[in-house]
């Protein structure tokens, strides 16, 4: 082979190979020994097995004989095909269908039990069948269920009874048998199953564990970008689903509570019926004793309908009295006066007294008119359009809804006057009908006879009553009451209202204006008017600061309020007083500005400077300018509150006004009071857990700039029931707002997406630990902070969502 010393070319799979056959074949001797040029292909077997005796024998036999020889095959263990009972076992015949067999995907899962009876079971069955009939399949289903319900622990007999829909005796028999059999069973289950892998990896080596799940997805191609996007989407989906779950759970809870309430009420009614308590006297008696509980229970029951809060928030306009009020007055009465006012003492002290009871009783009567969840259709962000609708259909969102836990009396309009006449009586029943002459701060006017009561969540609602004196009363200028407004009666509770306690007794018949005035002056007639909330006791921790006493520590108050304003990120620190006109102007500006929000960004800095000016007018406008940036969001609300709370430094002026008792506008929106409110709100936001996040969102969404305050305020009574000052602030603000529904439409326009409000609120909440920033530093920081409320607020959503209970 010396001539073949050259190296053969590599085998080219693409090169044609000529085929030589038979006699054409060249002498193979010429061809040999170039095999190295053709790489020897591996057999694909494991080396060690390749050398096995029988294989080698078979291979060589094939090489030699070119076909298999019987004796040279690889021996294998024998198999028999002589199962003689086959035909008995597999009964019947199966005709081959003409068409190819095509299985339906879900045909395979028939509901047959996996457990197959064995002969032992058959013995039992035969025994049992002497007493009762039990089919093998029935037995198998029972065992199957028992097996599948048991994991490591066997199900108990009790569980078994629940599991098996059979005769008790049968269950017992089968259960006992099963337990016995299971104990003797070697395997983990009577239904033999492949061992499952365990998560801890302890079974990684177990040869009996099979069909492990492939933990890592087999990556056949990579599409990272896509993956990321879908991952995000999945996350979002997950979040949304969990939100939906939360909501549904809340609804479930609410509906459950409703049902419970219904049952309880039914029970009460039944009991009352049996007692013959048709007039509610017994109930009242009982309630008197339990009044304390009642009062606290009230807000809790209000969880029932979230939308309640929304509505009520909408009607809260602390700073403005509606000009259109009269127009909608009649209708409104229906929705706004579900409850009788409470005595102020009750409101402020939060001490439940018997007087509150009738209120509750009254509303209780129609309590069965439950609202269901599908009433929850209030838009999150109120559109201007919705406002007129509400006006036209005042019962719409503000419609009176029976409150759970309340007793409602039938309207007693006929007794209206009567109640006045008898208001002197200490009679509890009568007391609740007591209406007082009431004056509002914004707009400054007298609204006639009204009574205050605490609404849900501590908002104060003014129930107005029409009397024959109305025309006269309308003429009353709050200024006229100046002299005697800030009577001492309200001093002990930090009410925004000064309660002028005149004698309850006033003329039954028409009185002249002067008569009324004189009555008031002589304290024969009670007259309420908002009173400047005086200085708050802000030196101690926020929550303990209780009430505003007199306007004593002006400087401190202003400092505190400014600090609070800062912390609440409204970015406006307004110093100086504010008048009603200013405020109204401001309102309009707010509305305007919302339309041009971003355009006015530039003015912010300037306005902040100007906001520190003491000149009221300038301040008002500049404040508005300030807010231009954040107006689209809830910061507008804060801005409004800031404006409202602005006049801190101009304490003297405020004080003066307060003294006069007429310019009580600032009383409502009194700086310390407001900041206090915010403050407590913050507290509420941060402290109160619960579901009402949604409510808050909605509330804020619905309410306007000014509404935020009451909305937030409403949280305070519940979350901080001890904080009387806050409470009263809230109460009074609400009080006013109820009476001034006109602003709704204005405010609605200025209202903004709620989340931002939430953020801001949260920020405020998170920041409220620095209340004692000096005014100057606070102000200086405003500019900076004003830029970043959004950013700061972002982190707050989570906390905010649990924060507020608006009830």
Show contacts with another protein in window 9-38 (CB under 8 A).
9, 11-22, 24-26, 28, 30-32, 34-35, 37-38
Out of 1, 60, 62, 581, the residue judged to bind another protein by CB under 8 A: 62
Is residue 621 within 8 Å of residue 608, measured between CB atoms? no
Residue 162 CB, shortest distance to another protein, in Å, is: 25
Chain centre to alpha carbon of residue 644: 29
Beta carbon of residue 203, minimum distance to another protein (angstroms, whole number): 7
Among 86, 130, 276, 784, binds another protein (CB under 8 A): 86
Residue 225 near another protein by CB under 8 A? no
Binding-site member from 129, 151, 165, 204 for another protein (CB under 8 A): 204
Q: Which of 2, 3, 5, 71 binds another protein (CB under 8 A)?
A: 71
Task: CB nearer to another protein: give 140 or 653.
Answer: 140
- Phi, psi of 371, deg, nearest 5: -95, 145
| Binding residue count for another protein, defined by CB under 8 A | 114
Tell me the C-alpha distance between 548 and 668, whole Å. 13
Task: State the minimum distance, in angstroms, from the CB of residue 119 to another protein.
Answer: 4
* Nearest-angstrom CA–CA distance, 632 and 595: 9
Give 192 or 689: the residue with its C-beta nearer to another protein. 192
Please check whether residue 340 is in contact with residue 359, taking contact to mean a CB–CB distance below 8 angstroms: yes
Is the Cβ of residue 97 or residue 276 nearer to another protein in the bound state? 97
Binding of another protein at residue 606 (CB under 8 A)? no
Strand partners, 694: none
Query: In the bound complex, what is the minimum distance in angstroms from residue 748's beta carbon to another protein?
Result: 48
CA atoms within 13 A on the CB side of 400: 18
Which three-class secondary structure state does DSSP give residue 691?
A: coil
H/E stretch holding 230 reads helix 224-275
Nearer to another protein, 122 or 539 (CB): 122
The label of the residue with tokens 């013995």 reads 123
Output the smallest distance, CB 332 to another protein, in A: 59
205 is an interface residue for another protein by CB under 8 A: yes
Within its chain, how far is the Cα of 156 from the centroid? Answer: 40
Interacting residues with another protein between 36 and 55 (CB under 8 A): 37-38, 40-55
Q: Identify the three-state secondary structure at position 440.
A: strand
Which of 2, 133, 218, 540 contacts another protein by CB under 8 A?
Answer: 218
Between 164 and 203, how does the x/- string for binding to another protein read (CB under 8 A)? Answer: ---------------------xxxx---xxxx-----xxx
Query: Which position among 127, 212, 238, 243 is part of the footprint of another protein (CB under 8 A)?
Result: 212
Least separation, in Å, of the C-beta of 110 and another protein? 8
CB of 48 to another protein, least distance (A): 3
- Both tokens of 116, joined, read 């197959």
Count CA atoms within 13 Å of residue 73 on its CB side: 6
Structure tokens at 405: 């836990």
CB of 70 to another protein, least distance (A): 8
> Which residues between 91 and 110 bind another protein (CB under 8 A)?
91, 93-96, 100-103, 105, 108, 110
Q: Which stretch binds another protein (CB under 8 A): 73-81, 417-425, 433-441, 627-635?
A: 73-81
Query: Does residue 74 belong to the site contacting another protein (CB under 8 A)?
Result: yes
Please give the torsion angle defined by the CA atoms of residues 205, 211, 217 and 219, in that order, rounded to the nearest 10 degrees: 90
Beta partners for 452?
462
Q: Which of residues 113-152 bind another protein (CB under 8 A)?
A: 113, 116-119, 122, 136-137, 140
Helix (H), strand (E) at residue 594: helix 580-595
Do 344 and 527 touch, CB atoms closer than 8 A?
A: no
Question: What is the distance between the alpha carbons of residues 278 and 237, in angstroms, rounded to a whole number?
Answer: 55
368 counts as binding another protein under rule CB under 8 A: no
Residue with tokens 């068409």: 99
The stretch among 86-94, 366-374, 381-389, 740-748 that binds another protein (CB under 8 A) is 86-94
Q: How far is the CB of 130 from another protein (least distance, A)?
A: 20
Nearer to another protein, 53 or 274 (CB): 53
Check if the beta carbon of residue 734 is closer than 8 Å to that of residue 440. no
Q: Shortest gap between Cβ of 127 and another protein (angstroms)?
A: 16
Question: Tokens 């305070």 correspond to what residue?
Answer: 716
- DSSP-based three-state secondary structure for 112: coil
| Contact positions with another protein (CB under 8 A) in 307-346 | none
Residues contacting residue 547 through CB under 8 Å, at least 6 positions apart: 492, 493, 494, 536, 537, 724, 725, 728
Q: How many CB atoms lie within 10 A of CB 262?
A: 14
């Amino acid at each position: 082979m010396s001539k073949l010393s050259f190296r053969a070319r590599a085998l080219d799979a693409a090169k044609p190979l000529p085929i030589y056959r038979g006699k054409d074949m060249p002498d193979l001797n010429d061809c040999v020994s170039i095999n190295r040029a053709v790489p020897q292909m591996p057999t694909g077997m494991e080396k060690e097995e390749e050398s096995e005796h029988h294989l080698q024998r078979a291979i060589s036999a094939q090489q030699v004989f070119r076909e298999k020889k019987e004796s040279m095959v690889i021996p294998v263990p024998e198999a028999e095909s002589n199962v003689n009972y086959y035909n008995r076992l597999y009964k019947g015949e199966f005709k081959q269908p003409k068409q190819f067999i095509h299985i339906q995907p879900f045909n395979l899962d028939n509901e047959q039990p996996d457990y197959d009876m064995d002969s032992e079971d058959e013995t039992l069955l035969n025994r049992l069948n002497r007493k009762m009939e039990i089919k093998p399949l029935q037995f198998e289903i029972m065992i199957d269920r028992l097996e599948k319900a048991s994991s490591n622990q066997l199900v108990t007999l009790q569980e078994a009874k629940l599991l098996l829909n059979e005769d008790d005796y049968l269950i017992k028999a089968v259960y006992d048998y099963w337990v016995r059999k299971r104990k003797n069973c070697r395997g983990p289950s009577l239904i033999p199953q492949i061992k499952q892998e365990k998560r801890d990896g302890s079974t990684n080596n177990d040869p009996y564990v099979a069909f492990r799940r492939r933990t890592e997805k087999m990556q056949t191609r990579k599409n990272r970008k896509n993956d990321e996007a879908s991952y995000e989407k999945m996350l979002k989906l997950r979040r949304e689903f969990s939100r939906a779950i939360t909501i549904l759970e809340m609804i479930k809870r609410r509906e459950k509570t409703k049902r419970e309430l219904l049952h309880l009420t039914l029970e009460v009614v039944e009991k009352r019926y049996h007692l013959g308590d048709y007039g509610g006297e017994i109930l009242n008696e009982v309630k008197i004793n339990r009044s304390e509980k009642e009062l606290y229970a009230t807000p809790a029951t209000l969880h029932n309908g979230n939308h309640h809060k929304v509505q009520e928030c909408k009607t809260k306009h602390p700073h403005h009295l509606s000009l259109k009020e009269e127009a909608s007055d009649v209708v409104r009465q229906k929705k706004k006066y579900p409850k009788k006012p409470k005595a102020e003492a009750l409101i402020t002290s939060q001490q439940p007294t018997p007087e509150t009871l009738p209120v509750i009783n009254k509303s209780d009567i129609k309590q069965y008119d439950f609202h269901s969840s599908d009433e929850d259709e209030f838009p999150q962000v109120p559109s201007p359009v919705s406002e007129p609708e509400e006006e036209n259909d005042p019962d719409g969102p503000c419609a009176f809804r029976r409150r759970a836990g309340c007793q409602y009396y039938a309207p007693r309009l006929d007794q209206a006057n009567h109640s006045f006449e008898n208001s002197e009586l200490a009679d509890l029943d009568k007391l609740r009908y007591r209406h007082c002459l009431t004056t509002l701060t914004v707009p400054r006017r007298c609204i006639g006879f009204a009574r205050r009561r605490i609404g849900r969540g501590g908002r104060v609602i003014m129930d107005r009553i029409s009397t024959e004196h109305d025309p006269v009363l309308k003429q009353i200028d709050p200024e006229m009451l100046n002299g005697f407004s800030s009577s001492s009666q309200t001093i002990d509770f930090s009410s925004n209202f000064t309660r002028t306690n005149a004698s309850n007794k006033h003329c039954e018949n028409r009185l002249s204006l002067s008569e009324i005035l004189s009555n008031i002056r002589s304290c024969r007639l009670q007259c309420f008017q908002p009173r400047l909330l005086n200085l708050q006791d802000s030196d101690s921790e926020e929550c303990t600061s209780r009430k505003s006493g007199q306007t004593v520590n002006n400087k401190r108050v202003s400092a505190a309020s400014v600090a609070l304003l800062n912390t609440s990120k409204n970015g406006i620190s307004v110093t100086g007083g504010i008048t009603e006109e200013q405020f109204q102007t401001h309102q309009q500006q707010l509305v305007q500005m919302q339309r041009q929000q971003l355009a006015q960004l530039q003015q912010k800095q300037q306005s902040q400077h100007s906001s520190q000016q003491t000149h009221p007018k300038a301040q008002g406008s500049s404040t508005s300018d300030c807010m231009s940036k954040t107006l689209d969001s809830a910061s507008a609300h804060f801005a409004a509150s800031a404006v409202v709370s602005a006049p801190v430094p101009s304490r003297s002026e405020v004080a003066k006004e307060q003294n006069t008792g007429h310019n009580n506008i600032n009383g409502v929106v009194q700086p310390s009071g407001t900041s206090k409110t915010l403050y407590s709100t913050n507290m509420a936001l941060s402290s109160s857990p619960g579901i009402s996040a949604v409510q808050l969102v909605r509330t804020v969404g619905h309410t306007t700039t000014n509404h935020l305050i009451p909305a937030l305020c409403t949280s305070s009574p519940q979350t901080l029931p001890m904080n009387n000052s806050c409470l009263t602030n809230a109460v009074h603000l609400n009080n006013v707002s109820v009476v001034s529904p006109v602003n709704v439409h204005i405010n609605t326009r200025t209202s903004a997406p709620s989340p931002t409000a939430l953020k801001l609120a949260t920020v405020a909440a998170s920041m409220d630990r620095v209340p004692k920033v000096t005014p100057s530093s606070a102000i200086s920081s405003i500019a900076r902070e004003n830029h970043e409320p959004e950013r700061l607020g972002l982190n707050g959503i989570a906390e905010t969502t649990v924060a507020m209970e608006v009830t």
